[in-house]
């Protein structure tokens, strides 16, 4: 999956799952392969408790797996 399509797919899936204020992108330089998901904490008060759910959604729609949750960074 190319990077732009992957970004759009993950963001769409998270929005459909009820997450708002979500930003999805990729790393740069040596971390170009990492998927970065950021949440606006003001809109999601219990963000840290939803970490596993967000990771599972991202892995399901992208097919990523392996070390570090499939190289997915959630903050």
Q: 14-68, pLDDT tens digit by residue?
A: 999 988 889 999 999 998 899 999 877 555 556 667 888 889 999 999 999 888 7
pLDDT at res. 42: 59
Give the residue numbers spanning the domain of 36: 3-74
Average pLDDT of the segment spanning 7-20: 92
Give the count of domains, the chain.
1
Smallest CA-to-CA distance from 60 within 18, 20, 6 is with 6
Residues of the chain by 3-state class (helix, strand, coil), percent to 5: 50, 15, 30
Write the CA distances from 37 to 24, 25, integer angstroms.
Answer: 5, 7
Task: Please answer whether residues 55 and 74 qualify as being in contact, where contact means their C-beta atoms are separated by less than 8 angstroms.
Answer: yes
Local structure of 25: helix, strand or coil: strand
Compute φ and ψ for 43, nearest 5 degrees. Answer: -95, -20
Q: CATH code at 19?
A: 3.30.1340
Q: What is the pTM of this model?
A: 0.83
């Amino acid at each position: 999956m190319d990077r732009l399509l992957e970004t759009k797919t993950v963001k769409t899936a998270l929005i459909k799952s009820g997450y708002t204020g979500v930003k999805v992108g990729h790393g740069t330089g040596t971390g170009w392969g990492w998927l970065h998901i950021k949440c606006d904490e003001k809109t999601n008060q219990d963000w840290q408790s939803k970490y596993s759910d967000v990771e599972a959604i991202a892995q399901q729609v992208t097919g990523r797996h392996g070390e570090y949750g499939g190289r997915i960074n959630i903050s």
